[in-house]
Amino acid sequence: QKEVEQDPGPLSVPEGAIVSLNCTYSNSAFQYFMWYRQYSRKGPELLMYTYSSGNKEDGRFTAQVDKSSKYISLFIRDSQPSDSATYLCAMSPIIQGAQKLVFGQGTRLTINP
Amino acid sequence: NAGVTQTPKFRVLKTGQSMTLLCAQDMNHEYMYWYRQDPGMGLRLIHYSVGEGTTAKGEVPDGYNVSRLKKQNFLLGLESAAPSQTSVYFCASSFPRASQNIQYFGAGTRLSVL
């Protein structure tokens, strides 16, 4: 069993829809949770970053962490075609030192105009 | 700002050939990382470095070697390439702030081993 599980999709939704992306994990030591966005043939770029449990909002994006269920989510409101990309969740068990991230498989998302 | 720059962008090797991938960052980051990305596998850590002259193994280090002779550069070497090393390779760097240890990625190197 992988430490981090993410549905690879693909996921296709119409423009304006609310998108929900999810990851589950098994390591209770994870403290930092991240969502990266990766456009085709590009490197991943950090989208959201949260510590421990709770919600964090940034514009149309909301990240949720439920440590009791070992479950994290990324919500995209009013989705746009420019949101079409692969979304990777990533987690880290330490605060300082080399951040050895563990990534999910990535979910490929397409927003249709 | 260039950020993290990887060279080359593409490469095709024959089995048994060797090559070196170069990663350069201009953000004065202490930490640097090499990942490989394969379909259905996400990103997996190959090797990482916490400073000039230091390296450590990640999740999938076999068949690769690394060197960090200068703070801004992190080299990934394949001594004898195998078809299983066909992948997209990403370099990343980060600055060890306690509150936000964010990794910044390069654009990747696509490697095919025939």
HEC readout, B78-92? ECCCCHHHCEEEEEE
End-to-end CA distance of chain A: 37
Gap between the Cα atoms of A94 and A23, Å rounded: 19
- Residue B100's pLDDT is 60
Q: Which chain B residues touch A96 with a CB distance below 8 Å?
A: 96, 98, 101
Q: Which chain A residues touch B108 with a CB distance below 8 Å?
A: 41-43
Q: Is residue A52 scored above 90 in pLDDT?
A: no
Average predicted confidence (pLDDT) for chain A = 91
- Residue B23's pLDDT is 97
Q: Between B10 and A54, whose confidence is greater? A: B10
- Residue A97's pLDDT is 64
Please give the backbone phi and psi of residue B15, each rounded to the nearest 5 degrees, phi first: -55, 130
Of the pLDDT bands very low, low, confident and very high (cuts 50, 70, 90), residue A74 is: very high
Tell me whether residues B101 and A95 touch, CB distance under 8 A: yes
Of the pLDDT bands very low, low, confident and very high (cuts 50, 70, 90), residue A95 is: low
Q: What is the pLDDT along chain B (114 residues), one digit of tens a residue?
A: 679 999 999 999 999 999 999 999 999 999 999 999 998 788 999 999 999 999 999 999 999 999 999 999 999 999 999 999 999 999 999 887 645 668 899 999 999 999
Q: What percent of chain A has pLDDT over 70?
A: 96
Which positions ≥6 away from A83 have C-beta within 8 Å? Answer: A19, A76, A109, A111
